[in-house]
């Protein structure tokens, strides 16, 4: 393929190294994309509050699609410019159904700015360093949110995701993107692909003129949508089986390797 007009990449496990940093090589490759006049979009499960270090590392270039498509975040201004949220009535129904089936599930919610969680929800390292709102279970469903998260202490992530899709897939869009049994739910129909397609339309870019990079199941809709799809070598088996091409692992700058070849 020639130089695509739209480059979409996941961050954690894909464009970022395993320590969460952006290598100098990758920053330079991103700069090549923009210098060529193409659109660079970071498409991530991360909430906006996790984007500041990335925004700084890439010199506040472009847009990010956050929370698996629920939020569009302007890296120049560090502001949410578009949102598609889960409504309180849907949240209440989803939590009720899941808790009835899996009593050990604990929940948290991601807002446009900040998050809230039950006391029993085991925070990961990034969240434990920031102040979230500790709430009773009933309060989790009182206001719209970008993402509902459900954590099980022991289940296999793929098996839990399948079960959650069966139980509440008519209400929300479940997926997962970590080694934990942590299911991320967006409003029904909201995925990385739907947000990316909408953005591409505003840029007058057709899907065949796009390229996407990913590593986990939450990237699959985006990878299926893109004209050309790449997985990094460290990707989930389902992702490796779904893409057109495989590049080097995230710690070996696989995304940069491809972009350097496309944008000489």
E strands along 128-209, which residues?
133-134, 147-151, 172-175, 182-187
Q: CA–CA separation, 159 vs 181, rounded Å?
A: 9
Segment 103-107 mean pLDDT: 95
Segment 183-197 mean pLDDT: 97
Segment 74-93 mean pLDDT: 93
The fraction of the chain above a pLDDT of 90, given in percent, is 77
If you ran DSSP here, which 8-state letter would residue 68 be given?
G
Segment 156-171 mean pLDDT: 97
Cβ proximity of 123 and 114 under 8 Å: no
Question: pTM of the full predicted structure?
Answer: 0.89
Quick one: pLDDT at residue 55? 82
Secondary-structure breakdown of the chain: helix, strand, coil percentages, each rounded to the nearest 5: 40, 25, 35
**Tens of pLDDT along 200-230?**
999 999 999 999 999 999 999 999 999 999 9
Residue 125 scores a pLDDT above 70: no
Quick one: pLDDT at residue 131? 56
Segment 195-200 mean pLDDT: 95
């Amino acid at each position: 393929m020639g130089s695509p007009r739209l480059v979409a990449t996941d961050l954690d496990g894909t464009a970022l190294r395993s320590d969460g940093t952006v290598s100098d090589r990758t920053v330079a490759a991103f700069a090549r994309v923009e210098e060529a006049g193409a659109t660079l979009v970071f498409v991530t499960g991360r909430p906006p509050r996790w984007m500041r270090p990335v925004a700084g590392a890439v010199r506040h270039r472009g847009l990010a699609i956050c929370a698996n498509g629920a939020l569009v975040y302007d890296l120049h201004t560090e502001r949410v410019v578009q949102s598609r949220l889960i409504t309180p009535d849907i949240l209440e129904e989803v939590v009720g159904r899941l808790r009835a089936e899996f009593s050990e599930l604990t929940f948290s919610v991601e807002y446009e700015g900040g998050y809230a969680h039950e006391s029993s929800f085991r925070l990961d390292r990034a969240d434990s360093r920031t102040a979230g709102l500790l709430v009773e279970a009933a309060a989790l469903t009182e206001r719209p949110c970008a993402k509902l998260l459900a954590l099980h202490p022991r289940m296999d992530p793929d098996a839990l995701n399948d079960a959650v899709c069966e139980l509440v897939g008519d209400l929300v869009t479940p997926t997962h993107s970590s080694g934990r049994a942590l299911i991320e739910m967006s409003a029904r129909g909201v995925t990385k692909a739907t947000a990316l397609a909408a953005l591409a339309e505003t840029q007058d870019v057709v899907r065949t003129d796009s390229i996407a990079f990913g590593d986990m199941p939450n990237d699959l809709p985006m990878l299926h949508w893109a004209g050309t799809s790449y997985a990094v070598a460290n990707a989930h088996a389902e992702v490796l089986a779904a893409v057109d091409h495989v590049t080097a692992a995230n710690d070996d700058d696989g995304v940069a390797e491809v972009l350097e070849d496309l944008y000489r």
